[in-house]
Amino acid sequence: MTGSVAAAIREALLECNPWAKAMATRKVARDWRLGKLSFAFDVEMPDLPGRPDAPELLPPNRMPKRGKGGSERGRIALWHALAHIEFVAIDLALDMAGRFGGEMDEGFVSDFLSVAADEAMHFALLDRHLRTLGSRYGALPAHDGLWEAAHGTRHDVAARLAVVPMVLEARGLDVTPATLERVRANGDERGARILERILDDEIRHVRFGAIHFADVAKRLDEDRDSLWKSLVSRHFGGAVKPPFNDSARLAAGLSRDLYAGLA
């Protein structure tokens, strides 16, 4: 053993350099899988994870327009926005495992560390793709809304699971197929394959969220669906909006009668 899983997670969260964070994250996940880290939660997770100087973070309404999807500039803006989402997703998954692992169990930690490792891989794939277009992560501003959802639910694992995997990541399942189709239609086959892989992985991430949420609801002796609905309306300002990717959501364990009621 080389230490507690919480200390290793905290260190990866505090890393500011995006590429170093991605590598540190994959190492935490690997060390945990190999039994090198103890199931101990002896340190707290930071309120704000380490962030690089670039990209500059802007509120969503101050983000520059992306321009036409087909232009070089528009393409770079798209991949940059996706890379940023994956970068924040690394912290979201690490924070899930490190903040709530102690009150949950080893399986929960394993699941969300594997999610964190996936997000680190997604980030690396997207940054590499950006470089083939002559750009890189950090070259453009990015929007600062995603971490807020995590911060607002930092005291409640049920709320965190309800909002992060079951609303935000599920939203990714809804919007990715259209992006993928557009990218493929523009002749970017390599980009399309990256998005296919991400979509597959994200179904698994949402499923982990749904499974652990159901466990928490059971432990609290609450009805899963009504608990989810009340937590989403309390902690997630925006409405859960169609169009929904019903088949991907179903594969992730979200049935239509759950989320359609909130639309």
Q: Which is nearer to Fe ion, 51 or 122 (CB)?
A: 122
Of 15, 119, 188, 215, the residue at the interface with Fe ion (CB under 5 A) is 119
Please tell me whether residue 205 binds Fe ion under the rule CB under 5 A: yes
Q: Report how many residues bind Fe ion under the rule CB under 5 A.
A: 7
Closest residue to Fe ion: CB criterion: 205
Q: From 65-73, 130-138, 198-206, 237-245, give the range in contact with Fe ion by CB under 5 A.
A: 198-206
For residue 164, the minimal CB distance to Fe ion (Å) is 9
Please tell me whether residue 215 binds Fe ion under the rule CB under 5 A: no
Q: Which is nearer to Fe ion, 72 or 200 (CB)?
A: 200
Q: From 13-21, 22-30, 114-122, 141-149, give the range in contact with Fe ion by CB under 5 A.
A: 114-122
Q: Which is nearer to Fe ion, 201 or 222 (CB)?
A: 201
Q: Which is nearer to Fe ion, 4 or 127 (CB)?
A: 127
Instruction: Please check whether residue 13 is in contact with residue 95, taking contact to mean a CB–CB distance below 8 angstroms.
Output: yes
Q: Which is nearer to Fe ion, 95 or 202 (CB)?
A: 202
Q: Would strands 57-58 and 3-4 be described as parallel, antiparallel, or unpaired? A: unpaired
For residue 31, the minimal CB distance to Fe ion (Å) is 21
* 144 vs 152: CA distance, rounded Å: 14
Residues that bind Fe ion (CB under 5 A): 86, 89, 119, 122, 169, 202, 205
